[in-house]
Amino acid sequence: MTKNDIYSSLIEAGREKGYCVIPEFALHSDCPPNLEERPKHIDLVWALRQSSNSNEQNLPNSRYWKVIAAFEIEGCNVKCERERHPKHLELLKKFYGAEVQLFMVLYTQAYDRNWNNQATRDGEIASQKSWCENICNAEGFKVISGIELLNNLQEIPKA
């Protein structure tokens, strides 16, 4: 499953469940500015508008949106990026509540660059899941492959 397949599935499933689907969701608008750090963005979130803010957004994200689920999409062979995701989960929980779930969804194919699409990715997926369960061990953080995506989204309630 490619990155585009995953994005498409997440957008469709989020809308079917009644959520606003927001790409590149900024966390930095809620945090004190730190010029030495790059802005923190979540690849995609499912969120609900806060009832008191139904007009165009002119407030920080945490005062405007109620984030239900967040998704970081990574290649199954990527190890360097995964370390930042538990930190993103800490910020999500701080600003949006303890019930927020963060999924790192792994794509296993890429046709837009040099990638061996014939190779089996089971070992890389297992390694990422093992890291999540044994090293990261953050409550509300889950690593799944794109193939498992729709089954895992069933646990997220409708809006």
Q: pLDDT tens digits, residue range 59-99?
A: 677 778 899 999 999 888 876 566 677 778 888 888 888 88
Q: How far is CA 45 from CA 10, 94, 113, in A?
A: 9, 16, 26
The model's pTM is 0.84
Phi and psi (nearest 5°) for 79?
A: -115, -35
User: Does residue 36 register a pLDDT over 60?
Assistant: no
**Which of 31-45, 60-74, 100-114 comes out lowest in average pLDDT?**
31-45
User: Does residue 53 register a pLDDT over 80?
Assistant: no
User: Does residue 17 register a pLDDT over 90?
Assistant: yes
Greater confidence, 31 or 103? Answer: 103
- For the chain, percent helix, then strand, then coil, each to nearest 5? 35, 25, 40
User: What is the three-class DSSP state of 91?
Assistant: helix
CA atoms 28, 46, 139, 152: torsion sign: negative
| 46 touches 39 (CB < 8 A) | no
| 108 touches 78 (CB < 8 A) | no
For residue 156, the 8-state DSSP code is S
Q: What percent of the chain has pLDDT over 70?
A: 83
**Which of 26-35, 42-51, 125-134 comes out lowest in average pLDDT?**
26-35
Q: What is the CATH number of domain 3-153?
A: 3.40.1350
